[in-house]
Structure 1
């Protein structure tokens, strides 16, 4: 039993180490000129790093399409550059529109230069000039059919729609906040920031964190068990005191309780780490 538990702890440490690679390691920051949040992804290709950065860090790696089209019209992007960029993605295909032959390359170019592949943001013609009485009557007629679904059916539908994203691109706390309007992420982040700033203090605080030399988890557990109802959790002191002595065991218990399968744990931990701002 002990051997199995030790092996699970070692495996988890490896998973956490790899999951943390998405976060740039620049601590402690004493003297620096810049801080590249994608430093941990520099070994990847540009496209892959941008995609992972968007997934785990929430940043946009590319400008809006309208901005690029403005650059094209202004000459900041050259036609030759556009042709070169599209060349690897072009197929030797075409469609006929009447007597006009439209090549695949022309379609791709039109998507970029005219935004043909983007959703229309313009309202349909006449949408702002309808008969107000007709709209009101129609709304009353449709109201019974558009009644809000029961909470359980609404959640089941959301789970079905987001099933592929859960654990890969969404943490369960993110999903709960988005689906039921909770505030779990902000609440947890506030607690983490509070305890991290106490533990990571480098002698500037008037009162240093007691037990800091024991490591973050043990120091936090000893102090949090004496705190008055953190996050308004009922019986929080007893619950915190009953947590495992080893941080790895606590993480494993949490992952098991959340039902995160082994193959998703690395990505899930990366998502969880990057949820905390800064």
Structure 2
């Protein structure tokens, strides 16, 4: 371990605190102050606006569906990557990180090119069978799933690697089925990794903007999510409503992180 002098340690601490303060705490604090400039009036007016409420409800629906889908596939892919060997394993692992390196706007445009009802690859066929993807909830859920895909997997994979598979093999040798082994051995071992991955995926899904804007069409009252409503109201000089919606989104994400931090056992920190 490198011996660092006391002044140097304090300098590093001040640098870290200053970085977090100016990048996170100060902007969020200003948002809170602007939201409550007139007391609770801004929030009450926003919650009385049917269009704002519709945007918040749609955000909740899209985010919850995206989290459920990513939870199921995230845990499945994590087990596949850690417990099995197969051709293309490294390629799959690299593709999982693709959403972290590709702009969400590019993702949205790619979905439009594939599922657009007029000239997309699958769009016309799907619409002929009564399913509209683009400018509708399915496209928004797909875009949100894509951008939040790595978060559950990258939380679960290291834990699965660390715990190994000795207990799972012992359970199978004693006659436990695959389902019993997963529910009684694997899942309890990765429980908190799954929970934290779900919280991160939820926060990412709630705050998604670029990809959803491309595939939704941003139709007020129909396909306008809360993040799109923030942009629309701010550009239309309705700043109090924009601050209020942004505050509610931030509040949900912070509340999820706080709850997980409080409930998580000390030994798992």
For the superposition of Structure 1 and Structure 2, which TM-score range results when normalised by the shorter chain?
under 0.3
Higher RCO structure (Cα 8 Å, ≥6 apart): 2
TM-score normalised according to structure 1 size? 0.25
